């Protein structure tokens, strides 16, 4: 976490300590876990939210190579065992079938 994110996180914890405590208690109640177990997860989530708001988005800073890598990783993350659609499923007549009714 960079210094700007740490500063924002510190200010957030100070300004909203009561809200954070309430959220921790509610999550503990909902999940049947102790507040001591919930607090680290909540802190991690808040840090990620703060950090993502202070870092420039990927599309603003990525190089062409980073875009290619990210796209290939995204494409590889999908199932490859899915059967292709039939010719009828992608035909014009199947797409406009409801209009004839």
- Enumerate the domain spans of the chain: 3-57
Task: Please report which confidence band the pLDDT of residue 10 belongs to, taking 50, 70 and 90 as the band edges.
Answer: confident
Report d(CA 101, CA 98) in Å as an integer: 6
pLDDT given at position 5: 72
Looking only at Cα atoms, what is the longest distance across the chain?
63
Taking only the tens place, the pLDDT of each residue in 38-72 is 999 998 998 888 877 777 888 889 999 999 999 99
Q: Give pLDDT, residue 1.
A: 65
Q: What is the pLDDT of residue 101?
A: 52
Query: What is the per-residue pLDDT for 100?
Result: 56
């Amino acid at each position: 976490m960079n210094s700007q994110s740490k500063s924002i996180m510190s200010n957030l914890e100070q300004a909203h300590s009561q809200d954070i405590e309430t959220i921790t208690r509610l999550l503990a109640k909902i999940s049947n876990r102790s507040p001591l177990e919930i607090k680290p997860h909540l802190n991690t989530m808040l840090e990620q939210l703060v950090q993502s708001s202070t870092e420039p988005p990927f599309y603003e800073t990525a190089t062409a190579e980073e875009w290619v890598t990210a796209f290939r990783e995204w494409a590889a993350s999908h199932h490859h065992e899915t059967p292709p659609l039939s010719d009828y499923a992608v035909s014009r007549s199947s797409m406009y079938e409801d209009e004839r009714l």
